């Protein structure tokens, strides 16, 4: 389980890598610290408790959320690591 949920002024507070996310029934590995919405659409994201919620997203949004899975949708998502 992740314990750091924010962006502090320390070196680990700034993310240094990114990766496009694809829909899958498998867990996202490694899990991103947050998500950038590259292109608008819908995305079903699952949390640590197994709760899945469909988000309606617009391009340019930043989700301060670290999902376990990206199970469905047509939004273009980028994970920040």
Distance separating alpha carbons of residues 16 and 53, to the nearest angstrom: 28
Cα separation, 76 vs 57, in Å, equals 9
Q: 34-63: per-residue pLDDT in tens?
A: 999 999 999 999 999 999 999 999 999 999
pLDDT of residue 16: 83
β 18-21/76-80 pair status: antiparallel
Confidence of residue 22 (pLDDT cuts 50, 70, 90): very high
Lowest mean pLDDT among 7-21, 34-48, 66-80: 7-21
Q: How confident is the model at residue 1 (pLDDT cuts 50, 70, 90)?
A: low
Q: What is the pTM of this model?
A: 0.81
Structure tokens belonging to residue 37: 């919405």
Would you kindly state where each structural domain of the chain is located, as residue ranges?
Answer: 34-81
Residue 55 token pair: 């988000």
Query: What does the alpha-carbon distance between residue 3 and residue 22 come to, in Å, rounded to a whole number?
Result: 24
């Amino acid at each position: 389980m992740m314990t750091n949920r924010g962006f502090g002024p320390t070196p680990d507070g700034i993310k240094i890598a990114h990766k496009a996310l694809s829909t899958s029934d498998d867990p996202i590995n490694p899990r991103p610290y947050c998500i950038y919405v590259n292109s608008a659409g819908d995305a079903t994201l699952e949390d640590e408790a197994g709760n899945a919620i469909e988000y309606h997203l617009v391009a340019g949004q930043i989700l301060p959320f670290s999902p376990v899975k990206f199970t469905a949708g047509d939004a273009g998502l980028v994970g920040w690591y």
